[in-house]
């Protein structure tokens, strides 16, 4: 490793900013500038104590700030490491293109291929249930829906989980109600049933995860989630699916192309 004086600066004794925050600032800047690469171990507590002339508790407080920001992760007995950047670029204008369904690929497989990662789906549950008020409203006042719940993994790491809700008059008794809906996923099956997709509407917000979401997605401390609700409409203007998705924010970059007119 390059010597610390060349990687990190000195503390400013005249600053009113707390020492542990100054150290966190310098480590953050070093990460942003690429002096510490993704997956690389940061200097140890002992090295930082010696470099800055501070206590171990001060260094630990600095690490806690960076962990809370999702920049680093501590591995017990090994040290503190720079967290990887988002591996998946979700291109909104392309992920639901019909050509992918015609090739037998779901949107998640398309994204995994682009990231060079191995996709998996687990925790699959398919059942009929009463629609919540929100889902009912989005689907045109339906009372009961077919719900498909699943978790998505890339190279063994959980990155999102989603629940699709479909009107029973469309999905009941079809391959959509099977654990494996077949090549191209449920959108391919919807189009085979005559519901040719016309457009999608998405609502996106960022928030901190619930305890169950932390467990399901194995999120590190300080990592938020992206909560996305998407409604699919067919060419007749009917909403045919609502997908409620929670994604690990450190796993995705959401990319959009917007018209200038």
Q: What are the pLDDT digits (tens) for 223-242?
A: 899 999 999 999 999 999 99
In a domain, 195, yes or no: yes
Q: Are residues 187 and 236 in the same domain?
A: yes
Which CATH number characterizes residue 179's domain? Answer: 3.40.1410.10
The token duo for 214 is 């932390």
What pLDDT sits at residue 17? 92
Q: State mean pLDDT over 58-66.
A: 93
For the stretch 88-141, pLDDT in tens is 666 555 666 677 766 766 777 777 777 777 888 998 899 999 999 999 999 999
Q: Are residues 78 and 115 in the same domain?
A: no
> In which residue are the tokens 């503390």 written?
11
Question: Which residue range(s) make up the domain with 164?
Answer: 89-254
From CA 240, how far away is CA 185, in angstroms rounded? 14
> In which residue are the tokens 């004086």 written?
5
Contact in structure between 135 and 145 (CB atoms under 8 Å): yes
């Amino acid at each position: 490793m390059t010597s610390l004086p060349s990687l990190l600066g000195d503390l400013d004794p005249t600053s009113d900013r707390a020492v542990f925050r100054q150290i966190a600032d310098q480590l953050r800047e070093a990460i942003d500038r690429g002096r510490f690469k993704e997956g690389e171990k940061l200097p140890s507590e002992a090295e930082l104590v010696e470099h800055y002339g501070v206590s171990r508790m001060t260094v630990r407080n600095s690490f806690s700030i960076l962990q809370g920001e999702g920049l680093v992760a501590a591995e017990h007995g090994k040290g503190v490491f720079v967290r990887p950047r988002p591996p998946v670029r979700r291109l909104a204008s392309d992920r639901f293109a019909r050509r992918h369904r015609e090739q037998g690929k779901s949107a998640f497989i398309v994204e995994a291929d682009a990231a060079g990662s191995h996709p998996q789906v687990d925790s699959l549950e398919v059942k009929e249930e009463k629609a919540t008020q929100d889902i009912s409203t989005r689907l045109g006042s339906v009372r009961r829906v077919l719900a498909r719940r699943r978790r998505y993994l890339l190279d063994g790491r959980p990155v999102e989980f989603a629940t699709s809700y479909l009107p029973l008059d469309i999905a009941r008794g079809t391959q959509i109600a099977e654990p494996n809906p077949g090549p191209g996923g449920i959108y391919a099956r919807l189009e085979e049933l005559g519901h040719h997709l016309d457009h999608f509407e998405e609502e996106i917000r960022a928030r901190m995860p619930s305890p169950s979401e932390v467990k399901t997605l194995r999120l590190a401390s300080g990592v938020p989630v992206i909560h996305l609700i998407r409604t699919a409409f067919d060419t007749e203007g009917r909403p045919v699916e609502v997908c409620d998705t929670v994604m690990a924010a450190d796993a995705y970059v959401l990319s959009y192309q917007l018209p200038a007119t």
